[in-house]
Amino acid sequence: MRSVGVEEELLLVDGESGDARALSAAILAAASRDGDGGEVFEAELQRQQLEFATRPQTVMGDLAEEIRRWRSEAARHAEGLGASVAALATSPLPVSPSIGTDERHLWLKEHFGLTAQEQLTCGCHVHVSVESDEEGVAVLDRMRPWLSVLLAMSANSPFWQGDDSGYGSYRSQVWGRWPSAGPVEIFGTADRYLQEVNAMVGSGVLRDEGMIYFDARLSHSYPTVEVRVADVCLDASTTVLMAALVRGLVETASRQWSDGEPPARHTVGMLRLAGWRAARSGLEDQLIHPLTMRPAPAEAVVHALFDHVRDALEDNGDLVLVQESLAELLKTGNGARVQRDVLKRTGSLRDVVAECVRRTLA
């Protein structure tokens, strides 16, 4: 069975006001002294965010346990500084991001200006093991149309600098400013993929291979396909749902490749439109159906994704978990709906942050 690992980026917020706080260095120091989390937590571009990475897991229950553990540990370290963590893909409250001071982050600030300065966004990255680069590229080619559905399901960033953005995932719009971000063409072979990566780095625009920000890519650190399209999910259960679906997509795409089934020939232009529609609508309106590239109700598109990966889910032992989690997500809504519902009920973005802090650790 393919292993799955998750990276989550969390927003660091003041325990009282809910304002984002630049505390990542202090929390990393506390985790390092503690010993257990020293290699789990990492700094990100902005000091108001913190990332953790799980170990590879094959059982979704074990993955869920680890995600909740590291969310809790991050909160414990933040508490000692009068802060907490929130699984928010953007800050609902106004914020002036503070870029880290290491060499890499300063290079990004110098070369990308306002794009880097404003880039306080938190995503969820899912790694699924593959046997080779050739299999990995075959998977990337075949899963392209379905990535926008994952974005719609995970959408958790409706607010930007104190205002409603009008999007379910405004994070994806901000993230899309990077020149290497977004959907990609069909590569066909691992050699062609690697040639493209080398050419992009060789252009001098990107610092290194770590700046290949495709919606899904071959990991440059692990033998995995890394799907990077999702917002960080408010509820840990939604993160686990994302992981199960991504593993299902990888397994389904690999089987199609083995059976000689070619990838759908959707253009990058159409995939960008599908991604924009998913970011704008979340689960509240129509999405672009991955098979037809025509509008369809969000719920129908989510069910189409489930049908597409159903056999793989069953073989992985994830079928019931995904069925139940999808039903709950479609009933209660994604993080964007939760945030807007809290604002409608309370009239306060600070209450939105407080509720998201609570749900992050639920």
What would the pLDDT profile of 107-151 be if each residue is shown by its tens digit?
999 999 999 999 999 999 999 999 999 999 999 999 999 999 999
Q: pLDDT band for position 212 (50/70/90)? A: very high
Q: What is the pLDDT of residues 91-105, one digit of tens each?
A: 999 999 999 999 999
What number is the average pLDDT over the span 176-199? Answer: 98
What rounded mean pLDDT belongs to the chain? 97
Task: Determine the residue type at 50.
Answer: L
CATH number of 4-360: 3.30.590.20
Percent of the chain with pLDDT over 90: 96
Residues 25, 29: Cα–Cα separation, whole Å: 6
What local confidence, expressed as pLDDT, does residue 79 receive?
95
Average pLDDT value for residue range 82-90: 97
- Confidence at 34, pLDDT banded by 50, 70, 90: confident
The per-residue pLDDT for 37 is 62
- Alpha-carbon distance of 226 to 4, in angstroms, equals 10
Query: How many whole angstroms separate alpha carbon 91 and alpha carbon 82?
Result: 18
pLDDT the model gives residue 38: 63
24's tokens: 């990542």
Q: What percent of the chain is predicted at pLDDT more than 70?
A: 99
23 pLDDT band, cuts 50/70/90, is very high
pLDDT greater than 80 at residue 36: no
d(CA 116, CA 110): 9
Phi-psi region of 166 (alpha: psi -120 to 50; beta: other; left: phi over 0): left
Q: Could you please report the per-residue DSSP string of 220-282? A: SSSSEEEEEEEEPPSSHHHHHHHHHHHHHHHHHHHHHHHTTPPPP---HHHHHHHHHHHHHHT
Task: Kindly state the helix (H) or strand (E) to which residue 102 belongs, with its residue range.
Answer: none
Residue with tokens 């991955």: 290
The mean per-residue pLDDT over the stretch 179-195 comes to: 98
Report the run of H or E that residue 334 belongs to, with start and end: none
Q: Residue 95 to residues 18, 90, 121, 212: CA-CA distances in angstroms?
A: 11, 10, 12, 27
* Mean pLDDT value across residues 218-243: 97
Is the separation of the CB atoms in 48 and 21 below 8 Å? yes
| 298-316 vs 319-332: helix crossing angle, rounded to 10 | 160
Q: Are 5 and 56 in contact (CB under 8 A)?
A: yes
Task: Check whether 176 has a pLDDT greater than 80.
Answer: yes
Contact 122, 88 (CB under 8 A): yes
DSSP state of 43: E
Q: Which residues contact 359 (CB under 8 A, 6 or more apart)?
A: 87, 234, 235, 338
pLDDT of residue 33 exceeding 90, the answer is: no
Least Cα distance to 290 among 235, 229, 232, 211 occurs for 229
- Run of H or E including 330: helix 319-332
Amino acid making up residue 177: R
Phi then psi for residue 33, to 5 deg, are -65, -35
Q: Where are the domains of the chain?
A: 4-360
